[in-house]
Chains A and B, each alone.
Chain A
Amino acid sequence: MPEVTYLEALRQGLWEEMERDERVFILGEDIGIYGGAFKVTEGFLDRFGSSRVIDTPISEAAIVGAAAGAAHMGLRPVAEMQFIDFVSCAYDMLTNYVATARYRTGLATPIVVRGPSGGYVRGGPFHSQMPEAAFFHTPGLKIVCPATARDAKGLIKAAIRDDDPVLYLEHKYLYRRIKEDLPQGEELLTPIGKARVAREGTDLSILTYSATVWKALEAAEEIAAKDGASVEVIDLRSLVPLDDAAMVESVKKTNKVLIVHEDTRTGGVAGEIAARINEQAFEWLDGPILRVTAHDVPLPYASTLEDFVLPQTADIVTAARRLLAY
């Protein structure tokens, strides 16, 4: 099994779906001739031609709106946001048009909007965002956040085949840092809405997604080595739908919950997860539900500032120890 990066896995998934289904096409800024700012779509123009690999103007609202229109007609567009930070320019299209179309008119809008999210890369306030909370709040959109190369591939393929609009939030820190042996020649599909146990444990559950899965795993390793405690790490993979059953099952086993995400704290996804556990598994808790998140500031540029603001492995260890003491 060849070792492939997270980025290459995503690229393979997209490629395979375009080979499999001629209704699939991609559109976005600089994705054709240039192959994308991060080269996710390198080689696609040569293989699939300019009618299925469309270089667009700098128009996020039009990219998403046009994808929606084409999807109504039975096509399967995958729209790239060059950096996911710019999806806010299409916020109206996604929340008012795309998310409501099926509910109001019965029309399917099977689009995928994907792009590089996340920090730890010194990108500054406009090339580092995690946008999930703004869309997590909107009924009618699915959100997936792969942490592994396998899921980068499996989730893009599942997202393209899904009959609902899907926001696919890849993490640019993971693009070339994560490598994995992936089977070739067999279909890799990750079901949307199913969490994954990234590490089994018995004393504490860490619920997380995207790049912080890896930080949670590092923290779990450190705690196992230094404290002798057993930490379970759940990689949520999908935020909408959220896998309540997997979260509750883990809580019933460990009785302690730490939620970790890279996004800012107030109004972040962790608050919703905490509320659900409170509603569904209160009797099983032996301590408060804690959160490790970014601080509530725009994400700054300088390495010292960014490292301070974003959740680090040491923060997760600190929070886990506080919880383990209950």
Chain B
Amino acid sequence: MAAPAARRTPIPAGLSPEALLEIYYYLRLTRSLEERLVNLYRQSKVIGGLYCSLGQEGQSVASAYALEPGDILSPLIRNVGSMLVMGATPVDLLRQYMAKGTGPTRGRDANVHFADLEKGYLGNISHLGDMVPVMAGIALSFKLRGERRVGLVHVGDGASSTGAFHEGMNLAAVQRVPLVVIIEHNGYAYSTPTSRQTAVERLADKANAYGVPAETVDGNDVFPVYESTKRAVERARRGDGATLIEVVTYRRKGHAEHDDQRYQPKEEREHWAKQDPIDRYVRRLVAEGWADEGDLRALDHRVSAELDAAVATAESEPLPDGGDALAAVLADPPEAERLWYRRR
């Protein structure tokens, strides 16, 4: 059902109709991939914790979409969407979650904890806030070499309480490095609501402590997230330093799949379910006549077929050999010693 062409309004932020469809593809891919991961988790094929981003996919995709080739993004566990936009493949994500020997870390680490600096992503570690100083260093390398590249790092509301977040923000600010820091404010750090995490009214207010500009945007609307990130990225690329963006969203699933969410009021979850970023995006695209239902359904089918193939491939592949655990702790020596009682 296409809207009448005569009432068509311009697409915001200079996005083309093709770009809108590409963003939709990544939104759908993110959600569908996570649905597949949940199934695999329930079959004990995803063997560790599974942290989903239901309701947060819009900001993950939109923020990463504002970057250019050569830029580097560091995700958090709920930024699978950002990873996909940066070029991580569904099959590699599946291998990683399933600890396959063929995966990007050969079964050594879980979820989005992997990196490809050529494609432009550097996975986080579990110690929240730590990627802010590391990404400040990556952005510092851009500045020192006079490269017009930008770093973007995602943290959660909880991470903004850490010392590493503070130190990294402060260093990035005082060195004026090209870094965009996004606080994904989803209401809860595990079970702890933001009201018990911080006494500031808005997380963006923390930027005052560092002397950097900040914005707060609706994280469930793709367009303002994209526009805000784009502004910050351009600012960084111009040499005007770091920006803090607070995207306000909501974590509709538990911290991880085992979590029964007893601490989240039912009405609260229902309210946010109506704010689903993909539903809102589709409604807007169709209502404005920027895309038609047929194009979107075709992308749904493409995502489904791609994931069928990726899941089949990942499932068919083996776990790593135990002895592979010894290689590459250091460049030299290339392998840790195999203990005598494990020698063959």
What separation, in Å, do the CA atoms of A70 and B140 have in the docked complex? 7
Selected interface stretch from A101-109, A195-203, A208-216 = A101-109
The residues of B with any CB-CB pair to A shorter than 8 Å are 104-105, 108-109, 113-115, 117, 122-123, 125-127, 130, 132-144, 163-164, 167-168, 170-171, 174-175, 328-333, 336
* A104 and B109 form a contact (CB under 8 A): yes
The proximity string for A residues 201-242 relative to B, scoring 1 for CB distances below 8 Å and 0 otherwise, is 000000000000000000000000000000000000000010
Q: B136, A164: Cβ atoms under 8 Å? A: no
| Minimal beta-carbon separation of B145 from chain A (angstroms) | 8
- Considering only CB atoms, which chain A residue lies closest to B164 in the complex? A61
Interfacial chain A residues near B125, Cβ < 8 Å: 96-97, 100
- 16 additional contacts (CB under 8 A) given A59-B171, A92-B130: A61-B167, A61-B168, A65-B167, A68-B133, A68-B137, A69-B133, A70-B141, A70-B144, A73-B141, A102-B331, A103-B108, A103-B329, A105-B114, A105-B115, A140-B329, A164-B330
B328 to A106, Cβ gap below 8 A? yes
Closest 7 CB pairs of A and B: A69-B137, A65-B133, A66-B137, A62-B167, A73-B141, A69-B138, A163-B331
A56-B171, A65-B136, A69-B141 given as contacts; is B329 within 8 A of A139 (CB)? yes
Name which residue of chain B comes closest to A69, CB basis.
Answer: B137
A65 to B168, CA, bound (A): 8
Chain B residue contacts of A73, Cβ below 8 A: 117, 137-138, 141-142
Could you name 18 residue pairs across A and B whose Cβ atoms are closer than 8 Å? Answer: A25-B144, A52-B144, A59-B170, A61-B130, A62-B133, A65-B167, A66-B168, A70-B144, A74-B141, A96-B130, A104-B105, A104-B108, A104-B113, A106-B115, A140-B329, A162-B331, A162-B332, A164-B332
Q: How close is B126's CB to chain A, nearest CB, in angstroms?
A: 8
Within the complex, what minimum Cβ distance (angstroms) separates A141 from chain B? 9
Q: When the two chains form their complex, are residues A139 and B336 in contact, meaning their CB atoms are under 8 A apart? A: yes
Least CB distance from B37 to A in Å reads 20
Neighbour of A62 across the interface among B126, B141, B171, B333, CB < 8 A? B171
On whether the beta carbons of A66 and B331 are closer than 8 Å, the reply is no
Question: Which residues does A use to contact B, with CB under 8 Å?
Answer: 25, 51-52, 54, 56-57, 59, 61-75, 77, 92-93, 96-97, 100, 102-108, 139-140, 142, 162-164, 241
| Contact of A75 (CB < 8 Å), options: B109, B132, B144 | B144
Contact check: which of B140, B168, B171, B329 meets A102 at CB < 8 Å? B329
Chain B contacts for A96, CB-based, 8 A: 125-127, 130
* Cα(A140)–Cα(B133), bound, Å: 20
Instruction: Write the chain B residue with the least CB distance to A92.
Output: B127
A65-B134, A69-B134, A92-B164 given; A107·B117 CB < 8 A: yes
- In the complex formed, the residue of B with least CB distance to A105 is B115
Residues of B within 8 A of A140 (CB): 329-330
Chain A's nearest CB lies how many Å from the CB of B141?
4
Q: Could you tell me if A163 and B141 are in contact, using CB atoms closer than 8 angstroms?
A: no
Residues of chain B within 8 A of A59, CB atoms compared: 133, 167, 170-171
Contact yes or no, A65 B130, CB < 8 A: yes
Residues of B contacting A77 in the complex (Cβ-Cβ under 8 angstroms): 137
A66 to B167, CA, bound (A): 10
Scoring B115, B142, B330 by chain A CB atoms within 10 A of each residue's CB, the highest score goes to B330
Q: In the complex, which residues of chain A have a beta carbon less than 8 angstroms from the beta carbon of B170?
A: 57, 59, 62
Chain B nearest Cβ from A91, distance in angstroms? 11
The residue of chain A having its C-beta at the shortest distance from the C-beta of B141 within the complex is: A73
Smallest CB–CB gap between A244 and chain B, Å? 10
> Judging by beta carbons under 8 Å apart, are A66 and B174 in contact?
no
- Name the B residues within 8 Å of A142 (CB-CB): 330
User: Do residues A57 and B174 form an inter-chain contact, with CB atoms below 8 A?
Assistant: yes
**Complex-state Cα separation, A63 to B171, whole angstroms:** 8
- Are A72 and B122 touching (Cβ within 8 A)? yes
Could you say which residues of chain A place their CB within 8 Å of the CB of B123?
Answer: 105
| Chain A residue at minimum C-beta to C-beta distance from B149 | A73
Q: B104 CB to closest chain A CB, in angstroms? A: 8
Closest-CB distance, B331 to chain A (whole angstroms): 4
Say yes or no: A97-B175 contact (C-beta < 8 A), given A25-B144, A65-B168, A164-B331. no
Residue of B whose beta carbon sits closest to that of A73? B141
Question: How far is A71 from B167 in the complex, measured between Cα atoms in Å?
Answer: 18
A73 to B140, CA, bound (A): 10
CA distance A163 to B333 in the complex (A): 11
Selected contact of A68 from candidates B104, B134, B330, CB within 8 Å: B134
Chain A residues, Cβ within 8 Å of B122: 72, 105, 107
**Also in contact, A54 and B175, with CB within 8 A (given A69-B137, A163-B332):** yes
Expressed in whole angstroms, the Cα–Cα distance for A64 and B168 within the complex equals: 10
Contact of A57 among B135, B139, B142, B171 (CB under 8 A): B171
Contact B105 A105 (CB under 8 A): yes
Q: Which residues of A contact B143 (CB under 8 A)?
A: 51
Residues of A within 8 A of B141 (CB): 69-70, 73-75
Complex alpha-carbon distance, A69 and B167, angstroms = 14
- Does B174 contact A105, Cβ atoms closer than 8 Å? no
Is the Cβ of A66 less than 8 Å from the Cβ of B133?
A: yes
- Which residue of chain B has the shortest Cβ distance to A77 in the bound complex? B137
Complex Cα distance, B174 from A199, in Å, reads: 50
- Residue contact B332 to A69, C-beta cutoff 8 Å: no
Q: How far, in Å, is A195 (CB) from chain B's closest CB?
A: 16
Which of A57, A65, A92 is B137 in contact with, Cβ under 8 Å? A65
